[in-house]
Amino acid sequence: MFKRTFALSAIAAAMFSMPALAQEQDQQAYAQQQMEEMANQPISDEQLEQFADALNEIERINDEFVAQLEQAESQEEAQELQIAAQSEMVEAVEDSGLSVEEYNAIAYRMQNDPEIQSRIEELRS
């Protein structure tokens, strides 16, 4: 489950822009640095609840996307579905009250902190 969660957070990281290839590596490095910096900051119970809500919604969107992707008849249709799913995921994160960057930082932290991981699991059950 946690590898999937991390994959979903990586999807979220990609959602906030579609940069030119030359800029993509710089943005990825910057996003990684930002996540690591934010990962050292305390996380409130409210943020964990927001994250759990967003994660539930992202997983629902991902499940729908996978089902639709299996029925895609062309590469173009698959790309359109991916863009739509990414937009929905960004909206889900923002509707939870978190920014995409905050969501990604908490996801990063969850991967590296068993206590945070446990608290999120409790909120999701």
pLDDT band for 69, please (50, 70, 90 cuts): confident
CA angle at 50 for the pair 42 and 17, rounded to the nearest 5°? 90
Mean of the per-residue pLDDT values of the chain: 81
Percent of the chain with pLDDT over 70: 75
Total domains present in the chain = 1
Residue 67 CB burial class (10 angstroms; 0-12, 13-18, ≥19): exposed
pLDDT band for 17, please (50, 70, 90 cuts): very low
Domain ranges, residue 98? 2-124
Of the candidate ranges 39-43, 80-84, 108-112, the one whose mean pLDDT is the lowest: 39-43
| Rounded-to-integer distance, Cα 110 and Cα 53, Å | 15
pLDDT of residue 39: 65
Of the candidate ranges 18-32, 50-64, 91-105, the one whose mean pLDDT is the lowest: 18-32
Of the candidate ranges 30-39, 47-56, 104-113, the one whose mean pLDDT is the lowest: 30-39
pLDDT at 7 over 60: no
More confident residue, 29 or 89: 89
